[in-house]
Amino acid sequence: MFMSKVEGLTSVSSLERRSASKYYIFLFFNVFLASIIAGSALEQLQTYLHQSANQIPRTIGVAIPMKATFFITYVMVDGWAGVAGEILRLKPLVIFHLKNFFLVKTEKDRDEAMDPGSIGFDSNEPQIQLYFLLGLVYAVVTPFLLPFILVFYVLAYVVYRHQIINVYNQEYESAAAFWPSVHGRIITALIVSQLLFLGLLSTKGAGQSTPVLLVLPVVTFYFHKYCKNRYEPAFVEYPLQEAMRKDTLERAREPGFDLKTYLASAYIHPVFKGGDDDEKFSMMDEAEADQVLVATKRQSRRNTPVPSRHNGSEAPSLPEIVNDQRL
């Protein structure tokens, strides 16, 4: 979030979108690639030392299925336990009791201490997409990993749906602005899984089918370009249908409104406006100065259930109110 703020982004939604992209790149290199490459290098260090450099990619391709047990453990510890921790919320519970004991003095302080905040898309969404990447990569390498990921997604759907509806506050409305980034990361995970699948086939003596399968990443990339050109403008620009509806309502409410004249000076600071605008503002100030408040003897109706006919300082009694209602 700090690096995104340094980039100049100001809105919370844009900050979380950029932070989610950075965090996903971190997880991709630090958790996925580092675990596979470093793990396979340590496990087959003797093989690396006694072979040529041309055979290293083949050795890594053989070692990738060996890391399936590590990722099964990772999904169970980080994914399943993370969902359980999300529904328990032990950390916010402890923080609330500490604030309640040391800081809470009024009911307003208590409400602020009980504020659950927002869900935090910048940290939760990249983790969910990392499991999607693991599922795509190991679907053909080690399908035994898929049930663990499926259980995680079922639990995450139930828990996060409950948390979003009943626990967290909606801090902003981004109009599904997250989806283009999510779609791009899904396509990236699909291309990575296809490339690793090609490497695995080359290590299993199926090198003849590898050139044919090179079409898969190319077709997937062009599918992403098609979706980007076809659907991304709906997430970036204002829809023409909504714009036309606003223009129709505006013409109906103000038939004589001159939009071009209004836009010519709409975004200029009032200090830099001159001529007719200064005269208009001075006339408005004079009109406001002419409005003088006149003191009256009317009593406020906030304490009376019906309009009072008494001009005195005392409010009517309850029997008088009942008689008035009967009349």
pLDDT digits (tens, 9 = 90+) for 28-82: 998 888 887 666 555 556 666 666 666 655 666 666 777 888 899 999 999 999 9
d(CA 220, CA 240): 30
pLDDT in tens, 91-134: 888 998 898 888 888 888 888 888 888 888 888 899 999 999 99
- Residue 315 φ/ψ region, left for φ over 0, alpha for ψ in the -120 to 50 degree band, beta for the rest: beta
Instruction: Give every CB contact of residue 227 below 8 A, 6+ residues apart in sequence.
Output: 183
Instruction: Give every CB contact of residue 160 below 8 A, 6+ residues apart in sequence.
Output: 86, 119, 124
d(CA 296, CA 294): 6
Distances (CA, A) of 209 to 60, 104, 203, 212, 312: 20, 68, 12, 5, 99
Q: How far apart are the first and last CA of the chain?
A: 68
d(CA 262, CA 246): 16
Distances (CA, A) of 283 to 27, 42, 262, 294: 62, 82, 19, 22
d(CA 327, CA 315): 19
Greater pLDDT, 265 or 96: 96
For residue 139, give the H/E element and its range: helix 121-141
Tokens of 165: 């509806």
d(CA 57, CA 64): 11
Q: DSSP secondary structure string, 90-124?
A: HHHHHHHHHHHHHT--SHHHHHHHT------HHHH
pLDDT confidence tier of residue 149, bands split at 50, 70 and 90: very high
CB-based contact 72:145 (threshold 8 Å): yes
d(CA 14, CA 4): 9
pLDDT in tens, 231-257: 888 887 777 787 888 888 888 888 888
Ranking 58-62, 81-85, 170-174 by mean pLDDT, the lowest is 58-62
CB-based contact 34:130 (threshold 8 Å): no
Q: What are phi and psi of 177, to 5 degrees?
A: -70, -15
| Residue tagged 């898969």 (tokens) | 216
Give the amino acid at 290. D
CB-based contact 194:217 (threshold 8 Å): yes
pLDDT confidence tier of residue 196, bands split at 50, 70 and 90: confident
d(CA 141, CA 67): 10
| Three-state DSSP state, 32 | helix
